[in-house]
Chains A and B, each alone.
Chain A
Amino acid sequence: MANSLLKAEHIKISFGNVHALRDVSLEIRPGEIHCLAGENGCGKSTIVKIITGVYQRDGGTIEFAGKEFGKITPIDAINAGIQVIYQDFSLFPNLTVEENLALNTEVASGKKMIHWKKVQEIAREAISKTNFDIDLKAKVEALTVAQKQMVAISRALMYNAKLIIMDEPTTALTKKEVKALFDVILQLKSQGIAILFISHKLDEVFEISDRFTIFRDGKLVATGNTKELDDKKFTFYMTGREFEDKKFEAVHISEKPVLELDGLTMEGAFQDVSFRLHGGEILGITGLLDSGRTELGLAMFGMRRATSGRILRNGEPVVIANPGDAIRHKIGYVPEDRLSEGLFLPRSIGDNIIISEIDKLTRNKIIFDLKKRDAEVAKWVQELEIKTPDPGNASTTLSGGNQQRIVLAKWLACDLDVLILNGPTVGVDIGSKHDIHNILQKLAGNGLAVIIISDDLPEVIQNCSRVLVIRSGRIVKEFQSRDVSEQLIVDAMM
């Protein structure tokens, strides 16, 4: 067997009564790109925190670069050459790029004064390692996500890192940026640096990694060469379930369209958008990030105001100037960023479910009826299989997939005719993604008109009966999804 850089064996840890890791092992070889995958709560982040000394393990052995690690502190891990790029990058948004790059080194040197020349030297050296071209005097808050990530990576390289751990590094990146990141990762690999790449995105795992390890429920499920892995196996290892991807067929299509757009235009975002949507249909709207797809969704929900054109509900023109109007016309919207726009995270699951229909849960229209509320909450928790011991728990206690279900429940409780979803499964793990697709298909089967705005093409093709492609603010193509391929859509998008 090849020598290994990191060898963690039989790692156990529990928090109170919860066994976060029951017995997992992870082996990383020098200079390899290793992918660690698993659904939310499987213990991915926990093992990273153990390796970096944030948590102390209850059992098991860790060997790094041939040395046995006893108790690890964060400083030990850094000195040994382990660096983590967290999702929030741990940068200082208010400081310049050069200071962000140099500050840790300067503080670690134990000096009392800052030498700005030295700061510049350190910063230049840091970016030269990856040929990263950036204005060193720019404030970090003014950078794009991809640039911030590069700053974090450059900073990590300052410590003679042997292993760089990246925690879901592609979450907020565009396709082009992901490609650029992969180039950097390959470059680091060529310098002999091992990368532990945490992700649950299948295509990324196949594209970049040499070997993989998959955890489920705190246990090691599989590890091996990525070459020997395929889609089916990957999904099975991740979830422990086998999925059949059911392709959606619209069956109960309403006779008249429930929603019509007639020449809807918003200056600077989209122009002359017209389409008809019938009940029972799932309509996909897809396009690049800046195509105007999000603005279109927001305009239908009254969060943004169209400058001209009409929206018709059941054949009648309606004015949708704010979300209140939209809800009154039985249109719901699940935003792209459900965490900031769709949920009151610290509030309970129950409160979140009933928030949009709170007016109806009353006695005599004035007094809030707690019994009605509890019944309603129980109904939706069961209907959408939200996994929680108690709907009184805060929404933060749930995984991304379950949070998305709360958002869905909240809208379904309002008895809608039209539901618009923007990126319904972004950041959601495979199992939940599958469940959400099933729920949407079932809802459409019951006569709801659904619009899915998404650039996840397999998702669009599998779940939508029709697909509109939007490019530079105009609908350029309409496909029936039964006779469309990803390539055809991509060609229309570009």
Chain B
Amino acid sequence: MNNSVKRLFRSNEPYIFLIIVILGIAVQIRSGQFFTANNIVDLLSALIVPGMFALGEFLALIAGGIDVSFPALASLSAYAVTKLLLDREYQGNVFLAFVIAALIGAVLGALNGLLIGYLNLNAMIVTLGTSSIFQGIMQGTLRANQLAAIPAGMKAFGTTALFRGSNAETGISSMLPMTFLVFVAVCIVMYLLLRYTIFGRGIYAIGGNPASAHAAGFNVRRTKFLMYIMIGIIASLSGICRVCMMQQMHPTNMLGMEMNIIAGVVLGGVSLIGGRGTLTGCILGTFLIVLVENSMILLGIPTTWSNVFVGLVILIGVSVSAYQTMHVRRAKSMNTKEAA
């Protein structure tokens, strides 16, 4: 086998992709509704918000950190923006909402970045702490409660269809909202950033070996600081997308998403110790979780069992990849033995 093909099968992505396909076929056999236009559109639309969160988490994990504050951060900035625009009775388009959310996200992310990057505190503990602070500000200071109406621009953005898919048999049709474009845009920016900028390679380098990264001339502290600002921005954009799509602002319903997001990213082959993982893997892993969460109904499994299934998929997926690395390692030790 040639080298690049070999390398591909040593990574996680093909296996996760295979699990997705198998699961898809299983649902198709059971319900006959998987490979229908409306189901695919539904799945893509369900991927938007978790997908963007996953991209942020991906950054943190690659650099050898972690972020559990993004749901609280996104809730806070999305709530603040929605409330602000409602109070001002702003009638313009959604652009301003994204800009303000990005600014708030940057400030909140900078707090994480300051503590993790410059003070070198443990990322897990810091983001647990800031998560509580963000929730506290939202519920205490801003006295957040459910906002049943949202500004006109955001409403329009969430209801305008980029694409529609309908099922000829059942007549049900689903739409892919414009927010999908935001997700795609973030994906593209992330790809370019990680692949073609010194900053992006610095994130990988720091995750691989922080001391060497410093010795190689990277400004490790500043890179981490800027990275957490970016994560804050991405999370906030995702928060606005969520509000646009739900047509209402519910301050607490994003909270608690962090664990499944992290699980998805790790499923996709992104290492918890940093430095290892690809964007494709990150998206595939997240898609797998979304797929399981959304296919319970089609499989005829009561929604109360949904968590059990998500848990099972995570365990199976992680076991497969652990088995996989064990295999590679064994092959490698055989090789070095031959060399010796």
Distance of A155 from chain B, by nearest CB (Å): 10
* B212 contacts the other chain (CB 8 A): yes
Q: Which of B94-102, B174-182, B191-199, B302-310 contacts A (4 or more CB under 8 A)?
A: B191-199
Cβ contact of A92, chosen from B4, B275, B332, B335, cutoff 8 A: B275
Chain B residues with Cβ under 8 A from A99's Cβ?
Answer: 201
Known A90-B211, A144-B336, A289-B340; contact A107-B198, beta-carbon cutoff 8 A: yes
Interface string of A101-124 (1 = CB under 8 A from B): 001101110011110000000000
* B34 contacts the other chain (CB 8 A): no
Chain A residues with Cβ under 8 A from B202's Cβ?
Answer: 107
* A392 contacts the other chain (CB 8 A): no
B336 to chain A: closest residue by CB:
A144
Report yes or no: A103 in contact with B4, Cβ–Cβ below 8 A.
no
Report yes or no: A104 in contact with B204, Cβ–Cβ below 8 A.
no
Interface string of A264-275 (1 = CB under 8 A from B): 000000000000
* B276 contacts the other chain (CB 8 A): yes
A74–B198 Cα distance when bound, in Å, is 21
A106–B217 Cα distance when bound, in Å, is 10
Interface residue count on the A side (C-beta < 8 Å)? 27
Report yes or no: B3 in contact with A176, Cβ–Cβ below 8 A.
no
Report yes or no: A95 in contact with B204, Cβ–Cβ below 8 A.
yes
Q: In terms of DSSP, what is the predominant structure of the interface of chain A?
A: loop
Report yes or no: A94 in contact with B204, Cβ–Cβ below 8 A.
yes
A90 to chain B: closest residue by CB:
B212
A-B contact pairs, 19 of them (CB 8 A): A90-B215, A90-B216, A91-B209, A91-B212, A92-B208, A92-B209, A92-B212, A93-B209, A93-B275, A94-B208, A95-B201, A95-B208, A95-B275, A107-B217, A114-B195, A114-B198, A114-B200, A144-B335, A290-B337
* B237 contacts the other chain (CB 8 A): no
Report yes or no: A112 in contact with B199, Cβ–Cβ below 8 A.
yes
Interface residue ranges of A142-196 to B (CB < 8 Å): 142, 144, 174, 176-177
* A137 contacts the other chain (CB 8 A): yes
B274 to chain A: closest residue by CB:
A94
A230–B337 Cα distance when bound, in Å, is 35
B200 to chain A: closest residue by CB:
A114
Report yes or no: A176 in contact with B340, Cβ–Cβ below 8 A.
yes
* B339 contacts the other chain (CB 8 A): yes
Report yes or no: B205 in contact with A137, Cβ–Cβ below 8 A.
no
Distance of A370 from chain B, by nearest CB (Å): 33
Interface residue count on the B side (C-beta < 8 Å)? 32
Known A90-B209, A92-B208, A290-B340; contact A104-B216, beta-carbon cutoff 8 A: yes
Distance of B203 from chain A, by nearest CB (Å): 11
* A341 contacts the other chain (CB 8 A): no
Chain A residues with Cβ under 8 A from B79's Cβ?
Answer: none
Distance of B221 from chain A, by nearest CB (Å): 15
Distance of A85 from chain B, by nearest CB (Å): 12
Distance of A366 from chain B, by nearest CB (Å): 36
* B207 contacts the other chain (CB 8 A): yes
Report yes or no: A107 in contact with B340, Cβ–Cβ below 8 A.
no
A275–B213 Cα distance when bound, in Å, is 52
Interface residue ranges of B93-115 to A (CB < 8 Å): none
A108–B3 Cα distance when bound, in Å, is 31
A111–B201 Cα distance when bound, in Å, is 12
Report yes or no: B275 in contact with A112, Cβ–Cβ below 8 A.
no
A119–B325 Cα distance when bound, in Å, is 28
Distance of B215 from chain A, by nearest CB (Å): 6
* B134 contacts the other chain (CB 8 A): no
* A288 contacts the other chain (CB 8 A): yes
Please name the 9 residue pairs, one residue from A and one from B, whose CB atoms are nearest each other, closest first: A94-B275, A92-B208, A94-B208, A90-B212, A107-B217, A290-B337, A104-B216, A174-B340, A289-B340
